[in-house]
Structure 1
Amino acid sequence: MNATAPVRIGIIGLGRMGQNHLRILSLLAGADLRFVYDLDADNARRIVGSTGVAVATDIEQALSEVEAVVIASPTTTHQAYIELAAQHVSNIFVEKPVTDRLETSLAMRDFVESRGLNFQVGLIERFNPAVDQMKKLLDRSEQVVSVDFVRTNKLSARITDVDVVTDLMIHDIDLALYLNGPTVAVSAHGVAEGPMIDYAAALLTHANGRFSRIQASRITDKKMRSIQATCKDMFVDCELLRKEITLSRQSEVEQRPGEPYRITALEEKIEVQPREALQLELQAFLGSCRGNPAPGAPGVREGVDAMIVCDQILKAILG
């Protein structure tokens, strides 16, 4: 593989996320987008339009002509496409979750590691510039006590194969593990509208003594993405959609004779660079294809670790 040439890459699946990958990879200088593949070839041609990207009808032939692939197909098809792609390429990016079930995700972890694949999971929030700043703040804190995560959406017609835990909550489960480390206990409750869980709340206790409280809903009529950290030396409020961080500190406690306590608070806005997370995520993957892995990029182990916690939450809710 030429260390400086663009990476020859293809996309499997042209749903919403596949179309986002198409948009970014079509623009990145480090990518040579050779094909897109979707079971609905006519729809794929409509989506591709005048971009000049080929629509493959023979997926094995298309895979034999590239160095890397992005799998953005329905979750239930991930395992089959990972196994197929691995016959032709050693660089695989798969949208979260790794597969639709813990058992097959564990099998894919063993499969990926036994073959020595360069494998990245699409846990995109790790590449949100606000999360990067949040981690730096927490790493410098005297004592992090608890981190709260909220992620809500209205129920989407495009999501029919996974519940809210593996669809939405998995992002914050991964961030909780990324920011606070491994867990020692997980508890949860939730609500199911029909056959799948649409609201879930979980409490994660981490090995370092921190707590993560995670709420995910797709029956809430408001889109929210937030992280709030309670520390002994500060409170951090991070709004992921607007990429805004506010830092609050208690600067002084004063009491004069005969008067009540007076507390002076200091509030500070933390600057966050306006970068698109998907672009950063795909640039990290392309770099890893050339032997330059990005620190913190989630591989198969991180993807499976998140699935293990997802499974614990599902079992706590469903019994």
Structure 2
Amino acid sequence: MQDTIFKVGLIGLGSMGRNHLRVLSMLKGFELAFVADADAQVAANAGDIHGVPGVVDPTPLLPDVDAVVICTPTVTHAQYIRLAAAHVKNIFVEKPLTATLGEAREIAVLAEERGLNLQVGFIERFNPAVLALKTVLERTERVISLDFTRTNKVSARITDVDVVTDLMIHDIDLALYLNGPARSVAAHGFGHGSMVDFASALITHENGQFSRIQASRVTDKKIRQITGTCVDMYVDCDLLSKEILIHRQSQVNESGSLPYTISAIQETVAIAPQEALLSELQSFMAMCRDPATAARVPGIEASVAAMEICAQIQAEV
């Protein structure tokens, strides 16, 4: 199975879809079989460049592929998952899984019935800074609270979901990934009409730890940051620059036994460069080869859990 080449179809050639196309076209183990987009010209152009069919309707081509990657607008995710599931077991869909929690639960039932191997595009799980942070937190004496900040200016390409489903869901998933299942959620926010543009939430986890999450689309400054307060250290993780700083508690020479006093200790964690999207699609390929590895990737269960918290936050806001 290690040498198996999987034929993969890509549906959706927007900004994220083009990134997937770039990686899929050079990833050993995947053979691009077709590209599809609602814009016939966009699909045809991409197909010509990569030497594969470029279509609007992928339905006739689905029986001949082993896997499908879905990067269409959120409101169409459920539609395309159902379409692909009629022919293919291996499905990757960009986050969020679906536009609504109800649809997500329906897809969860479908996935169980069809035995789907379904991965959801929570790309920050594959950010090398997050992977390093998880190791750091596993070695601390105790995590008290994690703070997540994610800001962006309003995107012209994201018009179908609010800041909670667009941005905050990444950190909700990370909060559950790093701190465990949630016990309760409290939130407040700001928006225009029914579209939330700023949200702040406090998640209390079942293990007694806390996650404070803030997401905004009303600022031009782009921030992707996680900070951790632990009993024995403070951790500052920048997801953009891929940097982690650890601030240890000061050591005071109260007895006078040492000729010096350490007032602060700061450590820098070395992080090896790695493209998160490449790692993410490599994990999808591994799942295609061996479904037993599905437990290592964000799938249906993780996505529904994150969307349940999104729904609670949106209701409170």
TM-score normalised by L of structure 1: 0.94
Q: Aligned partners of 2:306 and 2:36: how far apart in 1?
A: 28
Q: Which runs of 5+ in 1 are unaligned?
A: none
Note if contact 2:197-2:217 (Cα within 8 Å) is conserved in structure 1: yes
Deviations 1:25-82 (A, max 9, x none): 0110121011110111102233455232321344111111100000110111111111
Residue aligning to 2:268:
269
Residue aligning to 1:108:
107
Q: Aligned partners of 1:127 and 1:8: how far apart in 2?
A: 23
Deviations 1:62-119 (A, max 9, x none): 1111000001101111111111101110000011111110111111111111211101
Q: Aligned partners of 1:118 and 1:32: how far apart in 2?
A: 18
Residue aligning to 1:250:
249
Superposition deviation, residue 121 in structure 1: 0.3
Q: Secondary structure at the match of 1:170?
A: helix
Q: Percent identity?
A: 55
Superposition deviation, residue 203 in structure 1: 0.2
**In structure 2, do the counterparts of structure 1 residues 295 and 267 end up closer, same or farther at CA, with 3 Å as the change threshold?**
farther
Q: Which runs of 5+ in 2 are unaligned?
A: none
List aligned pairs for 1:138-217, cutoff 5 A. 138-217=137-216
Q: Aligned partners of 2:229 and 2:175: how far apart in 1?
A: 14
Q: Secondary structure at the match of 1:254?
A: coil
| Larger mean Cα displacement after TM superposition, 173-182 or 287-296 | 287-296
Residue aligning to 2:127:
128
Q: Aligned partners of 2:73 and 2:193: how far apart in 1?
A: 20
Q: Secondary structure at the match of 2:159?
A: coil
Q: Is 1:304 aligned to 2:304, yes or no?
A: yes
Residue aligning to 1:34:
33
Aligned residues: 313
What is the letter of the counterpart of residue 138 of structure 2?
D
What is the letter of the counterpart of residue 168 of structure 2?
M
Q: Provide the alpha-carbon RMSD of the alignment.
A: 1.7
Superposition deviation, residue 294 in structure 1: 6.2
Q: Aligned partners of 2:181 and 2:109: how far apart in 1?
A: 20
What is the letter of the counterpart of residue 304 of structure 1?
V
Q: Secondary structure at the match of 2:213?
A: strand
List aligned pairs for 1:35-50, cutoff 5 A. 35-48=34-47, 50=49
Q: Aligned partners of 1:48 and 1:154: how far apart in 2?
A: 32
What is the letter of the counterpart of residue 26 of structure 1?
S
Residue aligning to 1:87:
86
Superposition deviation, residue 3 in structure 1: 4.6
List aligned pairs for 1:67-78, cutoff 5 A. 67-78=66-77
